Amino acid sequence: MPTYYDTEIKSRLMLGTAQYPSPAILAQAFERSGAGIATVSVRREAGGERAGQAFWDMIGDLGVHVLPNTAGCHSVREAVTTAQMARELFDTNWIKLEVIGHADTLQPDPFGLVEAARILTDDGFQVFPYCTEDLVLCERLVEAGCRVLMPWGAPIGTGLGLNNIYGLRSLRAHFPDLPLVIDAGLGLPSQAAHAMELGYDAVLLNTAVSKAGDPAAMAQGFARALEAGRLGYEADPMEPRDMAAPSTPVLGRAFT
């Protein structure tokens, strides 16, 4: 199972907590999927005795690790300030770092992302950066102190799946020992299984589950797909080839 900053998580599934039809359905999605990490937007929920206390109590009752995020931040200063708020509210050094650079695609700002990652790492944070599959960007993030990378499969909320298989495969090969999590763009369990077959360690989902007709069932479907895909990866699958090869031997075949 994946280990993030020396903490082992007994699930390959992370779930976001936004846009569910009800808190009860959100809880069912976590229960049926066995997801081990819940991401929480600091902008949307408050802590302590403020308005978000009921939500925080519910998240605490799930018994999962909480990964606050800086969703919606468009500058380094905004992301760093939000991360500092998150540490105070949720009592964790973990932070999912988002620095959005493009309003339409929600693509991360690579320059701001590296700068913010370096600032937060120096301040004692354990950073989970939402990034693209760009190798140079990912190298800079690792140099900045990130021990986890979270490349997108496709733009947030699109459900398009894994848009750049070559890039994601190259990233896995370049960082064979670093935890890699597909973050954003998945819409179907089969896409999550494909991520596992590429050797990825986990996936983070929100829209694909929360906007499904039956979020709890979809969350469970993704969990099973992750297990199947990982088993396939670990089983050392056959290499694809252009020519057919008979599965039944031709020796001993009747002939005239």
**In this model, does residue 49 exceed pLDDT 60?**
no
The distance of Cα 249 from the centroid of its chain, to the nearest Å, equals: 44
Model confidence pLDDT, tens digit, residues 156-214: 999 999 999 999 999 999 999 999 999 999 999 999 999 999 999 999 999 999 999 99
- End-to-end CA separation in angstroms for the chain: 56
State residue 207 phi and psi, 5-degree precision.
-60, -40
For 9-31, write each residue's pLDDT tens digit: 999 999 999 999 998 999 999 99
Tens of pLDDT along 209-228?
Answer: 999 999 999 999 999 999 99
Task: Tell me the binding residues for 1-deoxy-D-xylulose 5-phosphate.
Answer: 157, 184-185, 206-207
Token pair of 109 as six digits: 């700002």
Q: What is the pLDDT of residues 126-144, one digit of tens each?
A: 999 999 999 999 999 999 9
Q: What is the pLDDT of residue 238?
A: 86
151: which DSSP letter? E
Residue 182 dihedral angles phi and psi, to the nearest 5°: -75, 120
Prediction pTM value: 0.89
Q: Which of 136, 139, 148 is nearest to 178 (CA)?
A: 148
Is the pLDDT at 83 greater than 60? The verdict is yes
Q: What is the pLDDT of residue 55?
A: 73
pLDDT exceeds 70 at position 82: yes
Residue 73 pLDDT greater than 80, yes or no:
yes
* 90 backbone dihedrals φ, ψ, rounded to 5°: -110, 0
| pLDDT (mean) for 244-252 | 72
Q: Which residues are annotated as a binding site?
A: 157, 184-185, 206-207
Active-site residue, selected from the candidate residues 96, 140, 172, 230: 96
Residue that has been written with the tokens 């992301």 in this structure: 79
Q: Band of the pLDDT at 89, cuts 50, 70, 90?
A: confident
How does the average pLDDT of the chain come out, rounded?
91
Looking at residue 251, its pLDDT comes to 64
Structural domains of the chain, ranges and CATH numbers in brackets: 10-235 (3.20.20.70)
pLDDT at position 11, please? 95
What does the angle CA 38 – CA 161 – CA 31 come to, to the nearest 5 degrees? 30
pLDDT for residue 103: 87
> What angle, rounded to 10 degrees, do the helices at 76-90 and 110-122 form?
40
Annotation marks residue 96 as catalytic:
yes
Report whether pLDDT(247) > 80.
no
pLDDT tens digits along 231-241: 999 999 888 88
pLDDT at 50 over 90: no
User: pLDDT of 104-115, one tens digit each?
Assistant: 888 999 999 999
